[in-house]
Amino acid sequence: MLTSEFIKQKAKELGAAVCGIGDINNFVPESLQRDPKAILPSAKCIIGFGFPVPKGLYRTMENDSQFYTYTTMGVKYIDEELAEIFLLKMGGMIEDAGYDACLQKHVPNLRIQGDKTTNPEVKDTYELIHAVAVEEGKPVPDVIIDFGEAARCCGIGEKGLSGRVLNEKYGPFMRFCFIITDAPLECDEPLKKHICDNCGECIKACPGKAIDENGLDTWQCAVYYKGAHKSNPFMTEEFLKDDPEREAIINGKKRFDSVSARKIFSQMRFLPQTHWGYAPCLCGKKCDIACFKHLKGVKK
Amino acid sequence: MKDSIIRIAKENLADIVGFASSERFDKNDPIFKIFPETKTVICLAFRVLRGIYRGTEEGTTYYQYTTMAVENMEETVMPMAQLRVANFIEEQGCIAIPQRRHQQIMAEADSVNPEVGYNTIFRNRPQENQMNFTETAVKCGIGEKGLSGAILTDEFGPMIRYCFILTDAIIDETALREPHLCDNCKKCIKACHGNAISEDGSLDPWQCAVYYNGANGTKNPFMPKDAYADFEDRIKIIAGEAKVTPEKARKILDATYFYPPAQHAYTASICGRACDTACYMHLEEQGKLTKKFKRPFRTREEWKFDIEDFK
C-alpha cells in the first residue's frame, strides 16, 4: 500500500534531503495557469522534494576561485539529470500503486502567457504568447506551477524576498521538484511560519541592484547573473569597450528591461554556456550567500 | 548472469528485460554487422509514466512530455541503464555493446524522424549500421508489434521506450509473446492528427513529422490563427487533411514554430502521441493491460478547436 511514510523513506533513499506532502486544497494558485489541478483535475496531493546544493559550490565563488562548477553541478545537473531520474523513480512507485504521477521538474526556458519575467539562469526565455485555452474554464497552456507556493503547501519552503525558495534547514541552498498525484496520501501541514524575515541582506548583496523591497527584477538579475558587473573575475577591458554606458553597467547603475538586457546577453561570453542553455553564474550568487549567512546567524 | 542483468537493469529504471538468442535473427541482420560474435540480444524497456501524457490530454501542459518522456529517457535514463548492464557483462569476461537509437543518423536518403528537427538529421549514412528496433524488440519477447508499428506490452501497452545490448554471452532467451493485444481496431489510425498511418498500418514519416510538431491547428493550442498564411491549402494543413510530400513537409516544418524545442535537437511533441494514447485507452477499456490504474486515462471528452476559427 502506498503511504506517505513509504514515499518519504524512498525519497530519502533516492537522494532527496527534504520531502513534504501537501493537500492540493491548500495550494493557493495565483491564477489557473499556476494551478496543479489544471494538470491533473483529480489531484489530491502535491509531493515536494528538495535537493541540497553543496555549500562548497558557493564557497568557491565567494573565494573567486571557481565559478563554473556551481552552474554545471549546482544548477544544470540537479535540475536536468538528478531531479529527472529521481522523479521517474518516484513516479514509477506511485503509478505501480495505480495512481497517476504528473512529474513537475523546473521549467527553465518557458514563461506562461502574460509572464514578462525571465529566468536569469538560462540564456533566454520564451513566452508562450500565441497560446489559447482548449476549452472555456481551462487555463491557457502551458500550466507551470509556482514552486514557491508548492513548497509552502508541502511545508518544505517558501519564496523569500529575492525570489529564491528557502528551506528551513538549507536556506536558499536547495533546489526543488514536485509530483502532482491523485493518490490519497496523509498530508503535512503547509508552512506556517516565515523563513524570510525581510532582512534585506540579499538586496544589499546583489551587485546589480536587482532586488528591492518588492522583490526581484528578473531582467536586471539576468544581466548581472551573467557577469555584467566589474566584480566578475572574468571581466575584460574589451567588454562593452565602445559602449558609452559601460561604466554605469559594470558598476551596476544601469537599469535593464527585456529589450536592453537581451541586447547585451550576446556580448557576455566569459565562460561557455552549458547544455540546456544554462548560462554561467558570474555574480557568485551573493544574494543567496548573504541570505544563508543571515539565516544561520539567526538560527532559522 | 541473467538474473543479475535483470536486477541491475531494473535498479536503473528498466521495467521489462527480454533476451533473444542470435539464432532468432537472419544472418544478414544488422546486429551481425555491428558485432559478428553476437550470441544474445538484450532488450531493456522503460515505461513512460502515464501521468506524463496527462498535460496533453488536458490541453494544459506540453513541456513535461517532450523533456521527461523523450529527451530525458533517450539521453539520460536509458544510456545509464545500458552502461551499468554492459559494465556488469564485461566484468564477467564477455563483450557488451549498448545500442540506442541514433536519432539524427539515417541510412535512408530521404526520410525523417518526427522527434528531432528534420534539418538536424544526417541522411544516407548506410555505413552507420542501425538495428531494426521494432523487430528486435519482438524477438526479445518484450511485446508484440501493433498495427501502427508501436511495440505493445502487456504491462504498459505502447507507453514504453526501449534500447538494446548486444553481447557474446550466451543467455537463456525469453519466450516470444504470442500476439494478443492489437486487434486491428484502427484507433491509432483515427487518432493521428495528420492521417500519417495508412489502413495497412504503414507510417508516412514526413506526414508524421509535420503533425507531431503541431501542424493540426484543431489540436494545437499554441498555433496563431493566421498560421501558414503563405500556403494555398493552409486550411487543409491545419485540419490535418493535407497530404504532404517530403519537400512540402520541409516547407511546413520551416513555418512551424509554435513551441520551443528541447535540447539534443528534440522538437516538442504537440500531438502528444495521439496514436499511442488512443491505443492505450483501447487496451485499457478491454482490460488487457496488467498494469492497472484506479481511474481510466480519459475521464473527459476529447477537446478540439473548430477549424472555422482559422478561416
Decide if pLDDT at B148 tops 70: yes
Please answer whether residues A3 and A83 qualify as being in contact, where contact means their C-beta atoms are separated by less than 8 angstroms.
no
Amino acid at B65: Y
- Inter-chain residue contact B263 with A277, CB threshold 8 Å: yes
In this prediction, the residues of chain A whose per-residue pLDDT falls under 70 are 299-300
Residue B295: CB atoms within 10 Å: 11
Backbone angles phi, psi at B305, to 5 degrees: -85, 155
pLDDT at A273: 77
Q: How far apart are CA B289 and CA B276, in angstroms?
A: 14
Distance from CA of A109 to the nearest CA of B (A): 9
8 Å CB contact of A100 and B54: yes
Q: Do β-strands A174-181 and A211-212 pair in parallel, antiparallel, or remain unpaired?
A: unpaired
Residues 6+ apart with CB under 8 A from A242: none
pLDDT tens-place string over residues B91-105 = 999 999 999 888 788
Contact A260, A208 (CB under 8 A): no
Confidence of residue B1 (pLDDT cuts 50, 70, 90): very high
Cβ neighbours around B228 below 10 Å, total: 22
Angle formed at CA A277 by CA B260 and CA A178, multiple of 5 degrees: 75
- A138 shares contact with chain B (CB less than 8 Å): yes
Tens digit of pLDDT for each residue in B35-68? 999 999 999 999 999 999 999 999 999 998 999 9
The confidence score (pLDDT) of residue B206 equals 95
Annotate A241-268 with b (16+ C-beta within 10 A) or e (fewer): eeeeebeebbebebebebeebeebbeeb
3-state helix, strand, coil in chain A (%, to 5): 35, 15, 50
C-alpha torsion B193→B195→B199→B200, nearest 10: -90
Interface test with A, best of B11, B58, B257, B298 (most A CBs within 10 A): B58
CB of A81 within 8 Å of a chain B CB? The answer is yes
Contacts of B52 in chain A (CB under 8 A): 102-103
CB contact under 8 A, A144 and B68: no
What percent of chain A has pLDDT above 70? Answer: 99
Q: Do B263 and A103 touch (CB under 8 A)?
A: no
Which pLDDT value is given to residue A299?
62
- The one-letter code for the residue type at A248 is A
Identify the three-state secondary structure at position A215. strand
pLDDT band at B119 (very low <50, low <70, confident <90, very high): confident
Cell numbers placing A250: 559594470
Q: Confirm if A156 and A174 have CB atoms less than 8 A apart.
A: no
Mutation target vs A (from B49, B301, B302; most A CBs, 10 A cutoff): B49
Residue pointed to by grid coordinates 541510412:
B107
Establish if A100 touches chain B: CB-CB under 8 angstroms. Answer: yes
Q: Nearest residue on chain B to A87, judged by CA atoms?
A: B68
Contact B55, A104 (CB under 8 A): no
Residues from B contacting A (CB-CB < 8 Å) are: 13, 15, 47, 49-52, 54-55, 58-64, 67-68, 72, 76-77, 80, 221-224, 258-260, 263, 291-295, 299-300, 303, 305
CA pair distance B6, A295, nearest whole angstrom: 47
Q: Does A107 touch chain B (CB under 8 A)?
A: yes
**Could you tell me if B90 and B103 are in contact, meaning their C-beta atoms sit under 8 angstroms apart?**
no
Interchain contact, A134 vs B52, CB within 8 Å: no
Measured CA to CA, the distance from residue A283 to residue A225 in angstroms comes to: 5
Q: What is the mean pLDDT of residues B294-309?
A: 94
| Among A47, A36, A137, residue whose Cα is nearest residue A90 | A47
Residue-level pLDDT at A7? 98
Q: What is the mean pLDDT of chain B?
A: 94
A134–B303 CB contact, under 8 Å: yes
- The neighbour count for residue A50, using CB atoms within 10 Å, is 23
Min Cα separation A180/chain B (Å): 9
Rounded CA-CA distance A114/B56 in Å is 21
Average pLDDT over residues B194-220: 94
Whole-number pLDDT of residue A276: 72
Contact yes or no for B60 and A110 at CB 8 A:
no
- pLDDT given for residue B128 in this prediction: 84
CA distance B70 to B80: 15
Angle, helices B205-212/B246-254, rounded to nearest 10 degrees: 10
A275 chain-B contacts, CB cut-off 8 A: 263
Burial B48-72 (b: 16+ CB within 10 A, else e): bbbbbbbbbbbbbbbbbbbbbbbbb
Q: pLDDT class for B80, splitting at 50, 70, 90? A: very high
DSSP state of B193: T
How far apart CA B83 and CA B75 sit, in angstroms, is: 12
Report the largest interatomic distance among the alpha carbons of chain A, rounded to a whole angstrom. Answer: 67
H or E segment and range at residue A68: helix A68-69
| Identity of the residue numbered B214 | G
pLDDT value, residue A15: 93
Task: Specify whether the CB–CB gap between A196 and A216 falls below 8 A.
Answer: no
C-alpha–C-alpha distance, residues A299 and A204, integer Å: 20
Q: Considering only alpha carbons, which residue of chain A is nearest residue B55?
A: A39
The model's pLDDT over B6-37, given as tens digits with 9 standing for 90+, comes to: 999 999 999 999 999 999 999 999 999 999 99
